[in-house]
Amino acid sequence: MRWMGLFLGAVLLVLPARADKPRVVSLDYCADQFVLGLADREQILAVSKDAEKPFSYLRERAAGIRKVRASAEDVIALKPDIVVRSWGGDARALDFYTSLGIRTIQIGYAVDFDAAAQITRNIGAEIGQADRAEALVQVMPAAAPASGITAQYLTPSGVSAGSGTMVDAIIHAAGLVNAAEQPGWQTVSLEQLVVAPPRIALTAFFGFDTDASDPWSASRHPVLKRILRQAEQVKMDESRLTCPAWFVADEAADLRRDIEALN
């Protein structure tokens, strides 16, 4: 283990002194959203390799910022004060970062807007941007009144989202009734859609990401294609569905406006 001792010694020599505004690295595109949305640009040492992908909501802000793999050696070489992670990298590395004096923030799971607001506040406080986080939370749009309109959320693979998911929270905050009656993520059978076709279909990942639909995907089935053609289809912003951040409320507000435009 002598080599490990030498490695740790070398790392400790290059770790930075604590700054007023800690320097941050994010390890996946969910973590990227909080770092890009809350931190000053000069605080950001690096974001993930996916930060500019279409499913990253704040992808435009990631332009010109270093991208890093989520491997421990690459992250440590950047000498961050804080590492922010949702699922990126090896969870076992978090203890290693801590042993080197690098604070780690593990983004929690959230299924409603209150939890998303609290996560935003927590991360803002950790990275020295509590005021900025609070400002974003304070302008989160309020939930819309109930409209009585039922909508069915569908992914390319024919999966829908019931209670206990952020998608369900967005649907209800838009004033809609969620057609998915079972809790959690669930596969909707084609037979069920034929018997009870949705009047309004909420879709995400349809269009920009053809690789998301393999040749056996339900989205390629002629029956589902027909059902979607016959329904009033509302395309949601998939980049606002992938992370429990403040902007989920904006997605609900936009969804409500899109629904109202249909009537």
How much is the pTM?
Answer: 0.86
pLDDT at residue 7, as a whole number: 40
pLDDT at residue 217, as a whole number: 57
Q: Which residues in the chain show pLDDT less than 70? A: 1-19, 206-220
pLDDT at residue 6, as a whole number: 39
Residue pLDDT, tens place only, 35-69: 999 999 999 999 999 999 999 999 999 999 999 99
The full 3-state SS of the chain, as one line of letters, equals CHHHHHHHHHHHHHCCCCCCCCCEEECCHHHHHHHHHHCCHHHEEEEECCCCCCCCCCHHHHCCCCEECCCHHHHHHCCCCEEEECCCCCCCHHHHHHHCCCEEEECCCCCCHHHHHHHHHHHHHHCCCHHHHHHHHHCCCCCCCCCCCEEEEECCCCEEECCCCHHHHHHHHCCCEECCCCCCEEECCHHHHHHCCCCEEEECCCCCCHHHCCCCCHHHCHHHHHHHHHCEEEECCHHHCCCCCCCHHHHHHHHHHHHHHHC
Domains of the chain: 2-138 (3.40.50.1980), 150-262 (3.40.50.1980)
